[in-house]
Structure 1
Amino acid sequence: MKFIIFFIYIPFVYSELHSFMTTYTGIRGQTIAGIPEFSAVTTLDDQQIDYYDSITMELIPKQDWMKEFASKDMWKEDNDIRQYVQLVYKNNIDVLMQRFNQSHGVHTYQRVYGCVWDDKTEVSQGFDLYAYDGKDFISLGVKERRYTESVPQASPTVQKWSDNKAQLGHLKLYYEHECVYWLIYFLKLRKAGFKRRAPEVSLLQKHPSSPVECYATDFYPSGVTITWLKNGVDHNEDVEHGDTLINEDGTFQKSATLYAPLDDWMTNQYVCEVEHMTETIRKILTDNEIKSNNRPTKGYFKPIFCMMGVLIVLVIGAVVWIIKKKKPVGGYNPLSIEDDTYIDKTD
């Protein structure tokens, strides 16, 4: 069985559509030291806000503005839930190995669940997806209150969960209301944890013949405008504007790349103008102003979807499933640990 080891964070576009997502990953059969058999990650707008694994057995806040919330009684309850789910996942993988007639090898069982919410239209949508060995296993249609299996081996689980009508109704209410409540709650908590920050602006170029990038980072809130001026006039030709991306610490970054030929910007004055709130920052394009080769790294490279700051081993198929199923979904754990249907039960 082949493995892939990867770091955790890739850039995602920040928009008015907010996401709140919890990811559970259980692994059986791996023996690499330091790699947990179970891990759980919660993200807000693709930014990790907490982390738990079977090695530390402790739910850890991953943002400074989450530390106050981590001191509340609910944090202990959330930690207990993850410890319980850890035991359930260990049992579930054993059951699924029997269903798939497997006696050895590395196997993964995953769940991605939560909601997205548009802060302008206030429209929300919930998601609840399961995978085994990197392939679709079960999905919940929240509005229809119906589970759907992707493989025959999922039928016994779908039948069991579908028979529990009360739990289906409870989950529908959770994804349509309670999940959105927590999403908005943590958005406000994050906002309160940040003060206004002006952007740090740099002109970047890999080598003398490369385009010049005007790169703004570490600013908050997210609203920023980057404009290239040529001899004092707005210059839109030969300019490519990047998306606004969120950094690991909750601040933002954006860039605008100038593709003008070298002889052109050597004979004309080009200026990058960055407007943020009421502040305007200007950088004149000169050799002395350009930073070459080493681009700022804070928040610039952020890999895929969960377990930030920690190495994780997954079967290649599991990674493929995550990439394929990557949707802006989210959720937190407000439900009781006695609720066996909500906490993953496969058999």
Structure 2
Amino acid sequence: MRSVVLLLLGVHLSYAGRHSLQYFYTGVSGDINFPEFTAVGLVDEGQFMYFDSNIMKAVPKTEWMRQNEGADYWDSQTQIASGNHPVFINNIQVVKERFNQSTGVHTFQFMVGCELVDDVTTGGYWQYGYDGEDLLSFDKNTLTNIAANPQAVTTKNKWDADRAQSENRKAYLENICIEWLRKYVSYGKNTLERKAAPEVSLLQKDSSSPVICHATGFYPSNIMMTWKKNQDDHNEDVEVISTLPNADGSFQKSISLSVKPEEWKNNPDIYRCVVQHVGGEKVVLLNEKNIKSNSASNNIIAIVVGCLVALAALALIIGLIVWWKKSNGYGKASTNDSDSENSGQPLPKA
């Protein structure tokens, strides 16, 4: 039976004119089936370039990058990423020694990014982490680094003494990053500024499982999903799952509701999933006819899993995004004491 989906009129989410550029670098040490080093570039949280130490080549991930940048650009990206590969592996060893670690899987991570809202710069961040936790941060206003733990103090002092490096970082965040963000947005304007409404479904594995409200296919990534009981927000027994990328560049997100089946089966339409997005706002009533059957929901879940498998190379990057959001986003530096410590400039060529 057809699901009853109500379209809310007159509700707007203002995300137009917001754009971001981010680079995530990850070095991995230990017995794990994952490239030793990866570099990923994102515009508006969608991947546009990728490099790893297995393929040893920077490659475009969007058609608008393929059409607008030629061999010279990709050669330069490959050289930058290839040069940072041994630096990151060395950094892991340095930090492992700082933490008195000799075995296990460990990650050394770098994030840098900037943002524009209505063509006005809103800030930037330069961050390093280790094993998913903050390590060092760069404050572009004071040109100093902030150590998140005692193990990072030695590197903080070293980086603080290098004024030229700090000035370069500040210039990158305030100028170079912004210039390239504007250029990339101009390349992919039709794609990056589109508004695709979410497709919303209610899924349930079995009668005793939580009901999942699943939104997919939407763009941009900003979305609000809530469960309501009658007309009030219902926050108890609710779990929000992070927004994830789909293989086609769109996004998906889910929010689950764990209540006794008889509570909503005996009170049809008392619960509803409300999805607000700039491309379209929808409400799906929680009743038996709107929940996908076991076979249908399994098919949808298989599609979702298939998308995630296709994005397997982003597994650690998704973890980085979680770390970035948890870190509140702005600031971090680097951590290596060797002469090969060039990770202060692990930037794509401008």
Same fold (TM over 0.5): yes
- Please tell me the residue identity of whatever aligns with 2:41: T
- Please tell me the residue identity of whatever aligns with 2:26: T
1:67 to 1:208, Cα distance in 2 relative to 1, 3 A: same
Q: For 1:47-62, what aligned pairs fall within 5 Å after superposition?
A: 47-62=46-61
Cα distance between partner residues in 1 of 2:202 and 2:133: 44
1:310 to 1:265, Cα distance in 2 relative to 1, 3 A: same
The equivalent residue for 1:170 is: 168
Shift of 1:149: 3.2
Unaligned runs of 5+ in 2: 1-13, 333-339
Of the candidates 262, 266, 290, which is equivalent to residue 265 of structure 2?
A: 262
- Please tell me the residue identity of whatever aligns with 2:39: A
Shift of 1:179: 1.7
Cα distance between partner residues in 1 of 2:91 and 2:277: 50
Are the equivalent residues in 2 in contact too, given 1:18–1:328 (CA < 8 A)? no
Shift of 1:324: 8.0
Q: For 1:300-315, what aligned pairs fall within 5 Å after superposition?
A: 308-310=311-313
The equivalent residue for 2:42 is: 43
1:31 to 1:22, Cα distance in 2 relative to 1, 3 A: same
Shift of 1:156: 4.5
Shift of 1:79: 1.3
Please say which of residues 64-73 and 282-291 is displaced more in the overlay: 282-291
Shift of 1:64: 4.1
- Please tell me the residue identity of whatever aligns with 1:55: N
RMSD over aligned Cα atoms: 5.2
The equivalent residue for 1:27 is: 28
The equivalent residue for 1:113 is: 111
- Please tell me the residue identity of whatever aligns with 1:342: G
1:175 to 1:265, Cα distance in 2 relative to 1, 3 A: same
Q: Which has the higher helix share?
A: 2
Query: Number of paired residues?
Result: 309
Cα distance between partner residues in 2 of 1:271 and 1:322: 31
The equivalent residue for 2:138 is: 140
Cα distance between partner residues in 1 of 2:96 and 2:280: 59
The equivalent residue for 1:73 is: 72
1:225 to 1:156, Cα distance in 2 relative to 1, 3 A: closer
Shift of 1:84: 0.1
TM-score w.r.t. the length of structure 1 is 0.63
Give the SS at the match of 2:312.
coil
Q: For 1:164-243, what aligned pairs fall within 5 Å after superposition?
A: 164-193=162-191, 197=196, 199-207=198-206, 216-220=215-219, 236=231
Structure 1, residues 90-141: CA drift from partner, whole Å, max 9, x if none? 3334445556666x42464523332342514834222222234555432211
Cα distance between partner residues in 1 of 2:120 and 2:77: 27
Unaligned runs of 5+ in 1: 1-13, 229-234, 332-337
